[in-house]
Structure 1
Amino acid sequence: MSTESGVDRGRLAELAARERAAFAERNPRSAAAYQRSDHLFGRVPMTWMNKTAAGFPLYVATARGNRITDVDGHDYLDFALGDTGAMAGHSPAPVVEAVTRRLATLGGATTMMPTEDAAIVAAELARRFTVPYWSFALTATDANRWAIRLLRAVTGRSKILFHSYCYHGSVDESLIVVGPDGNGRSREGNVGAPTDVTNTSRVAEFNDLAGLERELAHGDVAAVLMEPALTNIGIVLPEPGYLAGVRELTRKYGTYLINDETHTFSAGPGGATAFWGLAPDVVTIGKAIGGGIPVGAYGLSEDLAAALTGRTDLDLVDMGGVGGTLAGNPVSMAATRACLQEVLTDAAFAGMIGTATAFAAGIRKIIETYGLPWSVSQLGARVEYRFADPAPRNGTESAAKADAELEDFLHVYLANRGVLLTPFHNMALMSPDTTAGDVERHHEIFNEALHELTS
């Protein structure tokens, strides 16, 4: 019996069981390492590492460029790339050199003192993202949290508005979705919420300007924190005029606009902000800019920075709730400088986006060959195939179109043949090291999987 995804569920179950068995047989060392990890909560360093299609995670031995070798000696083409954290490739040489020099030659991993690298990184981020003043964190989650605190302070308003099924790390306020009745409610599985999320947040569907205006009209929203395209529920692209409409409405209702570029940085050297010519008040980013070394950053507009520094009642230098001892540390700053200046350059992005365009075109052709009701979305160097056609236009639609069984089958099928996608969805990301041959190899295996699935 076929379903909305266009596949026979019995055939899918049969193939998935075969692939899981093959995965277990070919990865005994990873399985054993997982079983030995008694003192890790969930047996993994972070519980989301249990998001695996085959019952246990692969354990990494080495990683270079877009190649990974696991502890069982299997080599993989890596299209997950740390879910954007390794978009520059694993251990890019300029970053390795900069970090080694900082630690081994200059010394000082944590000093609570600035380095000249930080000012150079801030200037480069200002050039790329059009907002002039920058500060640093260790993750984009913290960058978002601190930006939220600043904007609540400067506006005197309590609430932040999000899009349903957005991605902003583990920010408490962002775990809100549109419920069946059209009102906001806590996202499924929200862990230990400090308060009902509707007390802190408002929510609207992506690509719904009327819904956004309805929520902003309450007059209590300090900021709209948004991805210019949704990325963690499958890529959901903005419809023509939507982003301009968001900016117009936020200005109309005296609300600040934050662009979270943590994933949408894939759109180009200046992320979606530069690619689509956007004018946010704040830009937040993390993961990719450090070339694999933990870093986050937030940038402020001229007017916002002036408004904040003019507030003598705000403690911005001690215990006011913004900052951290390790933020802006010498190692993170050295890594980020090297990554932006020498790895994720304008030329590198041009190559990565070209490779992604070829990836997307090839996937569309294969899907069409088998007549499946699927679609493909691309955001610069980032591509995703979805089990729906047309592609969903908002987060709630996208969540409803998920097919966990089919997704897991494709992921383990690819992994068993040496290709990794991000474990959370069908996202493939191109690094500067990803080649046309790598794309062709993915497509060969993907085609084999669909042939077996539809035979």
Structure 2
Amino acid sequence: MSTDPGAERVIDRDRLRLLTGRERALFAERNPRSADAYARAGHLFGRVPMTWMNKSAAGYPVYVDRARGARLSDVDGHEYVDFCLGDTAAMAGHSPAPVVEAVTRRLGELGGASTMLPTEDAAVVGAELSRRFGVPEWSFALTATDANRWAIRLLRAVTGRSRILVNSYCYHGSVDESLIVVGPDGRPRSREGNVGAPSDVTLTSRVAEFNDLDGLARELAHGDVAAVLMEPALTNIGIVLPEPGYLEGVRALTREHGTYLINDETHTFSAGPGGATAAWGLEPDVVTIGKAIGGGVPVGAYGMSAELAADLLGRGDLDLIDMGGVGGTLAGNPVSMAATRATLEEVLTEAAFAGMIEVATGFADGVRKIIDRYALPWSVSRLGARVEYRFASPAPRNGTASAASADGELEDYLHTYLLNRGILLTPFHNMALMCPATTPEDVARHHEVFDAALGELTRDASSST
């Protein structure tokens, strides 16, 4: 420990690399069956079902055997306290009993996994989403990405404007228009690594930094923005919370410039039963959401104001039924609707959120104390039931600063260290999410291991590993 209570500790990079190498070797020793499964997956592109599953600090992913509640077990017999929870998709916990029962009944007793016909569950879900988020007209997709794509098309149609505005380093799935950032020169550019862009994103989109109302006003003044698509708090680049007055300013500016406002609540749903929209009293024209509302079953949804719905349905020139661009044969399928109804009515309830947020508050407070004890210049951000520790203090105020604060070497060490001791974080960053089954004991276990990881990292370089 530092002898100067005001000093900030500097990480010994040689020691960090030494410890990371040790932890990766331990991971390989502990997980031979996962290694074998990965080696045998030669007919999968990248050896995984989806290429992002290769994001593993340890070199390859653990293979899941079973999961229930806040626990996950791998094929090598290790059990994990799961704070990743499918990167929000399992925010209800793994296989919650009401969802299992609803899906089993739909597939078994009732039948009909895909019928292209409505079930009564869909209307119940629409009414519940309306109650929670305050917009009355809802439609469904299979992912939040599709919900965002469809909302964008509708708003381009109704406004006659071509551009969409997003925040730098936002996350809205793989929506083409969202892969734009503010470059070092302050000008917009395509986000690094953008795969096969169908057109130059600077022609389809505008971009402003989160928490920058002046920048937003400059971009909206062009008069060609159909919609601002935003998360009420950035999440996937690390949690970036809105500053006082920012979200109210966004709403005022969009109204002034005749631009629709879309709140993407897919991750910010962690803020409460009605996401940040309800928790912070927001008034979007459109809400998009996915992942968590299905209890682990694929679903996405978008809701809109009554005025917007009437404008769209009154347009005889828009093909909203056949080939007009708003489709998806499996959207609104009976299984997704049954799962979503069960999740909203019986799992992610107001009482459940209150408990999740209480546990997350304890998680954040405990991590903050550990970081302070080791005199590390880091910070902790919390968004309802979601917590993130950041390698910057104070916490970044926009996406570009948040991206710059990332430290891949530190993340790899901490994630592998935690994984080897039964703690699973979201692999893309240092996010921990609480589900209804997450307990204070789970949090205490994380803190015990996290403390040990920092203790080894900050030990004098002359000490033995």
| TM-score normalised by L of structure 2 | 0.97
| Partner of residue 453 from structure 2, selected from 436, 449, 452 | 449
Q: Secondary structure at the match of 1:54?
A: coil
- 1:434 and 2:438 matched: yes
1:303-318 equivalence runs, <5 A: 303-318=307-322
Letter in 1 for 2:96: P
How far the C-alpha of 1:73 sits from its partner, in A, is: 0.2
5+ residue gaps, structure 1, are none
Instruction: Tell me the distance in 2 between the aligned counterparts of 1:5 and 1:330.
Output: 55
- Report the RMSD for the aligned CA atoms in angstroms: 1.1
Following the alignment from structure 2 to structure 1, what is the Cα–Cα distance between the partners of residues 192 and 248? 31
Q: State the distance in 2 between where 1:15 and 1:136 align.
A: 47
Q: Does 1:396 align with 2:400?
A: yes
Quote the offset at 1:264 in angstroms.
0.1
How many residue pairs are counted as aligned between the two chains? 454
Equivalent residue for 2:349, pick from 327, 345, 354? 345
- 1:419 corresponds to which of 416, 423, 433: 423
Equivalence for 1:76: 80
How far does residue 5 in structure 1 lie from its aligned partner after superposition? 7.9
Question: Of the candidates 176, 179, 183, which is equivalent to residue 179 of structure 1?
Answer: 183
Question: In the alignment, residue 220 of structure 1 is paired with which amino acid?
Answer: D
User: Matched residues in 2 for 1:180 and 1:387: separation?
Assistant: 21
- Which residue of structure 1 lines up, in the alignment, with residue 112 of structure 2? 108
Find out whether 1:198 has 2:202 as its counterpart: yes
- 1:146-157 equivalences under 5 Å are 146-157=150-161
Q: Which amino acid counterpart does residue 443 of structure 1 have in structure 2?
A: H
State the Cα deviation string for residues 311-333 of structure 1 (Å, max 9, x = none): 01000011100021100000000
- 1:144-182 deviation line (CA, Å, top 9, x unaligned): 000000000000000000000000000001000000111
Q: Who is 2:121 aligned against?
A: 117
Change (3 A) 1:331 1:358: same
- Within 2, Cα distance between the matches of 1:387 and 1:233? 12
Q: Partner residue of 1:161?
A: 165
- Asked if 1:408 corresponds to 2:412, the answer is yes
C-alpha displacement at 1:56, in angstroms?
Answer: 0.6
> In the TM superposition, what are the counterparts of 1:40-439 in structure 2 within 5 Å?
40-439=44-443
Query: C-alpha distance in 1, partners of 2:57/2:404?
Result: 20
Q: Partner amino acid for 1:64?
A: R
8 Å CA contact 2:9–2:374 kept in 1: the answer is no
TM-score by length of 1: 0.99
Contact 1:5 1:387 in 2 (8 A): no
User: Identity across aligned pairs (percent)?
Assistant: 81
- How far 1:6 sits from its partner (Å)? 3.0
CA distance in 1, matches of 2:159, 2:171: 24
Secondary structure at the counterpart of residue 229 of structure 2: strand
- SS of match in other structure, 2:266: coil
Q: What letter is aligned with 1:79?
A: F
Q: Does structure 1 residue 35 correspond to structure 2 residue 39?
A: yes
- How many Å separate the matches in 1 of 2:78 and 2:256? 56
Report the 3-state secondary structure (helix = DSSP H, G, I; strand = E; otherwise coil) of the residue aligned with 2:368.
helix
Distance, in Å, in 2 between the alignment partners of 1:405 and 1:231 is: 21
Letter in 1 for 2:255: R
Q: Distance in 1 between matches of 2:116 and 2:410?
A: 49
1:364-393 deviation digits (Å, cap 9, x = unpaired): 000000000000000000000000000000
